Structure 1
Amino acid sequence: MKKIPQIGLLLSTAILLQACSTDPYTGEKKVSNTAIGAMIGAAAGAVGGAIVGGSNKRKSVLIGAGIGAIAGGSVGFYMDRQETKLREKLQGTGVQIVRDGDNIILNMPDNITFDTNQAYVKPEFMSVLESVAIVLDEYDKTYVDILGHTDSTGSADYNRTLSQNRAQAVAQILVTQNVQRERLVVRGLGEAYPIAPNDTEEGRRQNRRVEIALSPLVE
């Protein structure tokens, strides 16, 4: 049986239970945007295990491609500036931004990015990815990991393939917007890294997502 990051999921479940409220008009359970961000943050350490980041081989490839590295003492400041610019560009888009140490994770829920069971980015979301690409092009001293995720509905093989195709679709758009391909790693992780329980529709909705994880390229 496949193992999942239990600590992150347990934390997310606790936050979800505490943050649910009932709509007085419909009687439906809802989760606030603040709680959604908290769930992603609680699971960030677990999801971090899926981030490739700066392996020696990858670093050598990027340096060889002419991408400079950040001096060790400037990493925090560099990532702070990048985070601020991303928040300015992505405000109101539905993309959630989480800072995890020196990593920045952009969470793009599938309902704003893809139609159900499709791997073609919605036309209305193209401008959002173009905004992301502008910032990535400006702050190019970062690795870019694009991670596709699904809920647990359907077979594991189907979910891995769908998540891979969706992550690849996002990567291709970034490349067409001048983000260097050498910076990118694309991974379809299927249902392996949930940020919410899969036994509710709300939880499954949160788990269906593509993440862009940014890590510093350090000297």
Structure 2
Amino acid sequence: MNKKSIAALILVTLLTGCTTRQNATTGEQEMNTATKAAIGGAVAGALAGAATGKKNAAIIGAVGGAAIGGGIGYYFDQQEAALRQELLNSGVQVIRVGENELQLIMARGIGFDTGRYNLSSSIFSTLNGVAKVLNEYPKSSLVIIGHTDSVGSSESNLTLSERRAESVADYLIRQNVKSGRLSTLGYGERRPIASNNTTAGRSANRRVEINITAN
């Protein structure tokens, strides 16, 4: 990176600041997504601008790249905070997988009886909360993934997991989440998060996960 690009990056870093958030797992402070994305966008923009050879192009590119990157990062920071607030005490885990990706693990918030894919009315309020936030943040796509315990054949469990994902997708669509944002997938019994040797473990494995990514 040449001197102009470095100067542009320093300028944008000073303009954006270095905002932190508390890691939900460790409790430690970490740089938030908006700041990381802004710096990443600044680097890309500065390099692209510098490559043109035009006067001040690196600085202009860095500022523009930071605005784009920071905007996406800020959007996901806000969406994550809204989901955590809405799903507080619901049993749903909200996990930051990547800079622009969230994962909702509904092991306790959404449970299924062995061999069943229909939704219990007891989890409607949880899904209503998810749908509410998704409708407030429409610039994201969702992959809904179904899982099962190990009871039954692997073939039937694969089909069952797909139907569980589709049940959640259908419910979210009825809550006005646009169908074009949703896709479904089933993994059957292949990705347990607990032991299938216990009742509690099998219950946890009968779950749905929702991956939320930038649209």
Separation (CA, whole Å) in 2 of partners of 1:158 and 1:110:
23
Residue equivalent to 2:112 = 114
Is the Cα–Cα contact under 8 Å of residues 110 and 210 in structure 1 kept in the other structure? no
TM-score (normalizing by structure 2): 0.63
**SS of match in other structure, 1:143:** strand
**Counterpart residue identity of residue 73, structure 1:** G
RMSD: 2.2
Change (3 A) 1:175 1:82: same
**SS of match in other structure, 1:190:** coil
Residue equivalent to 1:99 = 96
Q: Which has the larger radius of gyration?
A: 2
Structure 1 unaligned residues grouped into runs of 5+? 1-36, 39-69
Separation (CA, whole Å) in 2 of partners of 1:137 and 1:109:
23
Of the three residues 140, 143, 161, the one matched with 2:141 is 143
**Counterpart residue identity of residue 155, structure 2:** D
Separation (CA, whole Å) in 2 of partners of 1:127 and 1:111:
10
Of the three residues 141, 160, 163, the one matched with 2:161 is 163
Separation (CA, whole Å) in 2 of partners of 1:177 and 1:111:
17
Residue equivalent to 1:153 = 151
Residue equivalent to 2:121 = 123
Residue equivalent to 2:69 = 72
Structure 1 residue 192 corresponds to structure 2 residue 152? no
Structure 2 unaligned residues grouped into runs of 5+? 1-24, 27-66
**SS of match in other structure, 2:180:** helix
Is the Cα–Cα contact under 8 Å of residues 91 and 106 in structure 2 kept in the other structure? yes
Is the Cα–Cα contact under 8 Å of residues 144 and 183 in structure 1 kept in the other structure? yes
Report sequence identity in percent: 45
Q: What CA deviation, in whole Å up to 9, does each residue of 1:146-195 have, x standing for no partner?
A: 00011223211111111111110100011011111011011111012222
Residue equivalent to 1:178 = 176
Displacement after TM superposition at 1:111 (Å): 7.4
Higher normalized contact order (CA 8 Å, seq sep 6+, divided by chain length): 1
How many residue pairs align between the two structures?
A: 150
**SS of match in other structure, 1:104:** strand
